[in-house]
Amino acid sequence: MIGYYDKNGDEITMEQWGVLFQDWRYRCIAQHCILGVMISTVWIGIDPGIEIDPDRLPLIFETMIFNEEQPCYKWATEDQARREHEKLVAEVKLLAEAVT
């Protein structure tokens, strides 16, 4: 069963999740575009894998780097998502500087 969570990691109903998910200001954590490479971190609020390991925190935030490979990273807390987003931005900036 899929778990639905608000940004604090508190379990919510599917209906509550649907209302929150419609609000881009609520969902968007951070976005950067570096030389045409978009890095986007958002709250997704669902964790279908929580029943596989119910002892871990739900992974309800997601960072994607939109390029040829499009890696996707999952985070449990907003603080972690923001921190890791900034690390990924710094890595992409270093790569961009090396190319230019």
For residue range 47-74, list pLDDT tens digits in order.
Answer: 877 666 767 889 999 999 988 677 899 9
Confidence tier at 33 by pLDDT (50, 70, 90)? very high
The pLDDT assigned to 8 comes to 97
Whole-angstrom distance, CA of residue 11 vs CA of residue 46? 10
Question: Please, which residues have CB within 8 angstroms of residue 69's CB and are 6 or more apart in sequence?
Answer: none
Task: Say which amino acid occupies 85.
Answer: H
Average pLDDT over residues 30-38: 93
Taken in order 56, 60, 65, 70, is the CA torsion positive or negative? positive
Q: Which residue's entry shows tokens 């939109």?
A: 66
CB 60 within 8 A of CB 47: yes
Report CA torsion sign: 20, 23, 26, 32: positive
Whether the full predicted model's pTM is greater than 0.85, yes or no, is yes
Beta bridge partners of 84: none
The whole-number pLDDT of residue 50 equals: 63
The rounded mean pLDDT for the chain is 91
